[in-house]
A and B are shown apart, each in its own frame.
Chain A
Amino acid sequence: MNRKIFTALLLVLVFCGLALSQTGVKKKRPLPYEYGRVIINNYSERTDIAPVVFEHWIHRSMFTCRVCHVDIGFAMKAGGTDIKAADNAHGYYCGACHNGKMVAEGKTVFAACSRRANMDDEKRCVRCHSYGQKVASDFDFFQFSQPLPKERFGNGLDWEKSEELGLIKPATSLPGVSGARNSLAVQKDFALNAKVEGMPDIIFSHKKHTVWNGCELCHPDIFIGVKRGTVKYSMVDISQGKSCGACHTTVAFPLTDCQRCHSKPVQP
């Protein structure tokens, strides 16, 4: 009897394992404070230090996407920038702000990756190199998010409305890093036809996107087509991080929030 039960259990385990290996494990939906988290591990584990945990929510409340991803030069994919400690110590990438001098939200921003580290620096190092470790943060997500208008998915916050209401004021440039720029002449909104019949068409707002990104963040790296309608976008591609998915699967509101994009009224 015991032998039969054992055999049955073993078979169940084997079949479960096979099933999981075929279809993969369903991704857990990130919690509001986890959404937009990036783990940076180009060299950390190789040098016996915990990988860096970067939280987008606190940084995007202070700076537009363009400041970091165009002016400072961060890549749009985790690990794509190839940041080294020396780069930070020399005042580039994270070191552009994390230099021990810049003031943000009334606090001096701690310096990242000094050239010579001693035992006292360990507390400073783990503020970023905190993957798998319990490190107290200066900023609490729930306290931060309390006054902001809420949304259903992603961080659970309506970032666009937060900015409109002046609850967050992301800077559009960084002194000494960003060059002087004229204000952008905004392109008009346009509609994209949905492939599925009955699904509302997408209204794409250039104005909303250029406020945060400028032009060069999207063109041509993310959107290469120059003539409207020449490139076909599919939800499969987008969910794999192509085109809109470059941001709307990682940091901006996720694809589960269909009506944010598919917003053109359906004509009967």
Chain B
Amino acid sequence: MVPTAMVFKAKLWTQLATIFKRTIRKGTPFKQTVVAAVLFMGLAAWCCERAVHEVSALAGQADTARQSSQESSESWRTEFDNICAKTEDAMTFSQEELTDLIRRCDSLQPQIEKLDESRKKVYLERLRKCRGLYAYVLDAKKKDKK
């Protein structure tokens, strides 16, 4: 059983083709020009719409793929994970270790500032928090030593 929508579409195209043929054979030059122009514009619009849809779909896929591969392979992300995964152990680090972690945070910051707006916002805040904790613990240890 052929779907109703398909039957309707087939009929519509057949009628349009009939009108087109009649106009081309028997219509005045003006009518022929109008029909030809309308058909041409319709075809052009359809092609443009398809092209835009394809390009944006490809761009979206590329964007997602690029983002995930970038984040996983970029050295800044590896360094960030290495530094900020240690916050649970902050109290067990020596002053030298904490100073080194803070230095690494400071070195990482310019790399994060070069990222796109969304990632820059997120990771700068995360870096600020983990650097802040290490500085806080270092301060506590220095005061305890005194």
| Chain A residues engaging chain B, CB cutoff 8 angstroms | 70-73, 75, 82, 84, 86-87, 90-93, 115-116, 179-185, 187, 214-217, 219-221, 224, 226-227
Contact = CB atoms under 8 A, between A and B. Distances in A.
A93 B91 contact: no
Contact of A185 (B91, B116, B143): B91
Contacts of A91: 67
B138 to A, nearest CB: 9
B140 A226 contact: yes
A183 B117 CA distance: 32
7 nearest CB pairs, A to B:
A226-B140, A179-B85, A216-B133, A220-B136, A179-B81, A216-B129, A87-B118
23 contacts: A71-B126, A72-B122, A73-B122, A73-B125, A73-B126, A82-B121, A92-B121, A93-B122, A116-B56, A179-B80, A182-B85, A182-B89, A184-B88, A185-B89, A187-B91, A215-B90, A216-B129, A219-B133, A220-B133, A221-B132, A226-B140, A227-B143, A227-B144
With a 10 A CB-CB cut-off, give which of B86, B119, B135, B136 has the most chain A CB atoms. B136
Interface of B: 56, 60, 67, 80-81, 84-92, 116-119, 121-123, 125-126, 129-130, 132-133, 135-137, 139-140, 143-144
Nearest to B124: A73
B125 to A, nearest CB: 5
Contacts of B60: 115
B145 to A, nearest CB: 12
B143 A181 contact: no
B85 A181 contact: yes
B115 to A, nearest CB: 11
Given A216-B129, A220-B132, A227-B143, A181 B118 contact: no
Contact of A183 (B88, B92, B125): B88
Nearest to A89: B118
